[in-house]
Amino acid sequence: MSTGLSTPDSHIDNFQGRYGDTITDRVAGARVRHCSSGTTRSLLALALGASLCVATLSSGCAASREGMAQLMTEVRALNKALLARLQGLEKTGLQVVENGDRISIVVPDVFFDFGSARLSEDARSAISQAANLLRDKKYEAYQITIEGHTDSKGSAKFNSRLSRDRADAVEKELLFSSVRDERILAVLGLGETQPVASNVNSDGTDNPEGRARNRRVEIVLTDPRLGAN
């Protein structure tokens, strides 16, 4: 971790700076949460991309490169193993997407009745299989955020409500399949605000394939050592 700023010995209630991560070559926003005069340790929250790492630092020095490197190595190794296991779910119709430190199990639109939050029997079976894997002791510490998404057809209010209802339906199925409630950090209805494809073609005509990709629910998995940013 490289920075031109140092942590002084005097008390700091709140400090905002820009820190460069020499491991990933990314710039990270950072804030010292607490640093008391006369102590040798302080708490620093480092926002790294889509992840939040919390490190305990010695006063006046930067975060341990070795410690951060070891943490990221461990997280990525576990993510890789989990991703390999999850890819077996694709035969059920679920999709698996890796995006940085996030792994998403995507429940596609075809698993819901048209314009509804009602899951098909095939969807319930597929989500149950995903839940069985998530209960594996190797991965049971992973935290879960459920995000509902729609295309841009219809009003923003309707899409927001439908996306939340569909996310709620997926949460209910996970809980029914014995995924622990405390693992689910949030259930969100994001409507049409986060498309993964264009809803229209470059000439302005409708893009049904793109809209179909946008209508989805994502079960987002994060290692507990890396909270959501």
Q: What is the pLDDT of residues 158-186, one digit of tens each?
A: 999 999 999 999 999 999 999 999 999 99
Average pLDDT score, the chain: 79
Contact in structure between 189 and 218 (CB atoms under 8 Å):
no
Q: In this predicted model, what pLDDT tens digit does every residue of 5-60 receive, in sequence order?
A: 434 443 434 434 444 444 444 444 333 333 333 333 334 443 333 333 444 444 44
The tokens for 146 are 């459920």
Contact in structure between 57 and 41 (CB atoms under 8 Å):
yes
When pLDDT is cut at 50, 70 and 90, the band that residue 71 belongs to is confident
Closest by CA to 90, choosing from 103, 102, 107, 113, is 107
**Mean of pLDDT values over 188-215:** 96
When pLDDT is cut at 50, 70 and 90, the band that residue 133 belongs to is very high
Contact in structure between 198 and 212 (CB atoms under 8 Å):
no
pLDDT of residue 68: 78
Closest by CA to 93, choosing from 85, 80, 104, 105, is 105
Question: How far apart are the C-alpha atoms of 97 and 124, rounded to whole Å?
Answer: 20
Contact in structure between 73 and 186 (CB atoms under 8 Å):
no
Residue 133 parent element (H or E): helix 121-134
| Amino acid letter, 205 | T
